[in-house]
């Protein structure tokens, strides 16, 4: 029913019904009902119905203050009503500001409750705070103003984290709030702020990681794995992202794709190539030519693939990781030359003239002189991608006769 055709009596009834629903949910510790009450952004029908009633019935505050069962929660209900009304009228900045006040008041109540019965409702509040802040910032940007609400949401959620970071059953909620904070910090480009919460989760004695819900552990490992990618800690990134992949719900293909977007570059950096079927299944075809270049030792193909998908890789934050694969592609190219030479003359296979490498690169349309190739070969030997030494006078790379191309180890992505 549209708000313009709503009678005052019907509007009053809807407001009273909502207040009874809230009061009953708290008194009976019904977390599921509370979750719906705070789910503004998902627009449940009864909240839309209430929003229309609030536009018609302007005296809801009097109804709240008249009854003790409502008035004790006035600090939650009054700003929640303003948030709902503003959201219905698409005043998103006002809606966020009012919702944060309601969320803050609810968090104070939650702090005073002995048990964690309302934890799921607090999750919804944390989620809604982030979503409403994002939408408010879009409204501010479209009006030429500075977007600042998401930053404010981060400050509020740090307070919520503080409420949960104590002894008792409430602490299992800390990881969910941490993950909401990660989403805020990654969106704002302030990932350095993740350190304070990860330090608390990973070093504080009050937390046992295995106690947290699996859903939250997967999300946490995904974001901390991404942080390790940025810091080029590939061993740690491999561990965390692999954990997220192995424990992710197999039906959540979008989530698996998001994990693989970062895990594939990490695996490539330690010499593990994904199967083509995996790339096709999760629509990660931007990696097809990179994997092919890796297999072939084709530097030209690698550079073309990086250029073609540059914007995508830069947005993901994996461009520099992929760019550094050049050394491994050089190693593959050298290995191919070694194999061809071995077929011709097994006794001289371990001696590769630099001029031969220059010609191979020229065939790939990459112009390098002997000095540049010498520099690359020196780096490969230094990085232990090639075993051998360099004969400077004769311009020859002398490869070890035993295991000249050390294998990088790791687990295959299936």
Domain assignment of residue 39, yes or no:
yes
Q: Is 146 within the bounds of a domain?
A: yes
pTM reported for the whole predicted model: 0.86
pLDDT at residue 6, as a whole number: 75
Q: Which among 184, 209, 234 is the end of a domain?
A: 209
In the prediction, which pLDDT does 409 show?
Answer: 56
Of 177, 209, 241, the domain-final residue: 209
Whether 223 is covered by a domain: the verdict is no
User: 325 in a domain, yes or no?
Assistant: no
Averaged confidence pLDDT in the chain: 89
pLDDT for position 203? 77
What's the CATH number where 363 sits? 1.10.10.10
Please check whether residue 384 lies inside any domain of the structure.
yes
The whole domain housing 367 covers 330-399
Last residue of a domain, one of 158, 181, 209: 209
138 within domain boundaries: yes
Residues with pLDDT less than 50, the chain: 1-3, 410-414
**Is residue 273 situated within a structural domain?**
no
The structural domain count of the chain equals 2
* Predicted local confidence at residue 38, as pLDDT: 95
7 with 147, same domain: the answer is yes
Q: What is the pLDDT of residues 83-100, one digit of tens each?
A: 999 998 899 999 999 999
Q: How far apart are CA 384 and CA 270, in angstroms?
A: 13
What is the per-residue pLDDT across 38-56, written as a single tens digit (0 to 9) for each? 999 987 787 888 888 888 8
pLDDT score recorded for residue 5: 66
Nearest Cα residue to 174 out of 204, 133, 130, 150: 204
263 found inside a domain: no
* pLDDT the model gives residue 58: 78
């Amino acid at each position: 029913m549209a708000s313009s055709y709503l009678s005052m009596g019907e509007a009053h009834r809807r407001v009273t019904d909502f207040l009874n629903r809230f009061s009953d949910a708290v008194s009976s510790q019904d977390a599921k009902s509370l979750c719906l009450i705070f789910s503004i952004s998902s627009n449940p029908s009864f909240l839309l119905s209430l929003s229309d009633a609030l536009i018609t019935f302007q005296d809801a505050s009097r109804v709240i203050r008249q009854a003790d069962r409502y008035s004790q929660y006035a600090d939650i209900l009054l700003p929640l009503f303003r948030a709902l009304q503003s959201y219905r009228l698409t005043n998103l900045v006002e809606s966020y500001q009012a919702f944060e006040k309601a969320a803050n008041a609810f968090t104070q109540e939650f702090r005073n409750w002995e048990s964690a019965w309302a934890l799921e409702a607090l999750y919804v509040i944390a989620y809604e705070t982030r979503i409403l802040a994002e939408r408010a910032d879009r409204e501010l940007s479209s009006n030429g103003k500075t977007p600042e609400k998401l930053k404010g949401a981060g400050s509020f959620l740090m307070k919520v984290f503080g409420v949960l970071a104590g002894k008792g059953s409430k602490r299992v909620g800390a990881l969910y709030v941490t993950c909401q904070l990660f989403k805020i910090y990654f969106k704002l480009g302030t990932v350095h702020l993740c350190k304070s919460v990860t330090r608390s989760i990973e070093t504080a004695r009050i937390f046992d990681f295995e106690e947290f819900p699996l859903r939250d552990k997967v999300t946490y490992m995904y974001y901390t794995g991404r942080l390790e990618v940025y810091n080029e800690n590939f061993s740690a990134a491999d561990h965390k992202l692999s954990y997220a992949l192995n424990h992710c719900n197999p039906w959540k293909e979008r989530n698996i794709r998001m994990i693989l977007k970062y895990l594939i570059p990490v695996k490539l950096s330690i010499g593990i190539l994904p199967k083509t079927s995996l790339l096709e299944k999760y629509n990660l075809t931007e990696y097809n030519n990179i994997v092919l270049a890796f297999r072939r030792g084709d530097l030209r193909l690698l550079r073309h693939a990086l250029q073609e998908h540059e914007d995508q890789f830069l947005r993901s934050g994996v461009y520099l990781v992929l760019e550094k694969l050049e050394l491994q592609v050089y190693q593959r190219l050298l290995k191919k030359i070694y194999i061809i030479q071995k077929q011709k003359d097994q006794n001289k296979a371990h001696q590769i003239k630099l001029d031969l490498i220059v010609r191979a690169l020229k065939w790939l349309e990459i112009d390098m002189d002997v000095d540049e190739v010498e520099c690359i070969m020196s780096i490969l030997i230094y990085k232990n991608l090639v075993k051998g030494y360099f004969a400077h006078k004769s311009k020859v790379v002398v490869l070890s006769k035993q295991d000249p191309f050390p294998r990088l180890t790791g687990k295959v992505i299936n």
